[in-house]
Amino acid sequence: MKARQKRLVFVGLAILGIGAASTLAITALKSNISYFFSPSQVLANEAPPNHVFRLGGLVTKGSLIRQPDSLTIHFDVTDNAKTVKVIYTGILPDLFSEGKGVVTKGKLGADGVFYAEEVLAKHDEEYIPPEVASTLKTAHVEGVTNAATPSNGASK
């Protein structure tokens, strides 16, 4: 085998190796991606069924229920337009509270309840996760638009 042929074989194997490594990396990343959805999007069936995703919004005041002698907690997450019931078993972050921003990660059950495997709370009094702020802003604009439109469908 000539030196030129050896180099071509080496370059070919290098390209093949890089391609295989890239394919493995992309496959691993796809399995770890979890998309963000608001309660309105979840109830509009935009969230993927039987896949892990993030649900974000505000914890509805008065919705927090702790099961006695258990780490299971029930609460509602809202984007001020729609509300989704959430069940989480585990220790909540110290900053978790009603009326504050939250992002949960888990799956939507066939019963319409979101079963969270992870709960993330806000950082300080003023902070709302960017996804939650965007969702609340969108829900507010849609709510204002719907409220401004007369119910009989006629425009002003």
123 is in an annotated binding site: yes
Token pair recorded at residue 146: 């719907």
Q: Comparing C-alpha atoms, which of 37, 58, 32, 34 is closest to residue 47?
A: 37
88 is in an annotated binding site: no
End-to-end alpha carbon distance in the chain:
84
Taking a C-beta distance cutoff of 8 angstroms, is the pair 55, 114 a contact?
A: yes
Taking a C-beta distance cutoff of 8 angstroms, is the pair 41, 131 a contact?
A: no
State how far the Cα of 27 lies from the Cα of 29, in Å rounded to an integer.
Answer: 5
Taking a C-beta distance cutoff of 8 angstroms, is the pair 105, 53 a contact?
A: yes
Q: Which residues contact 18 (CB under 8 A, 6 or more apart)?
A: none
Please enumerate, by residue number, every residue annotated as part of a binding site. 123, 127
Please enumerate, by residue number, every residue annotated as part of a binding site for heme. 123, 127
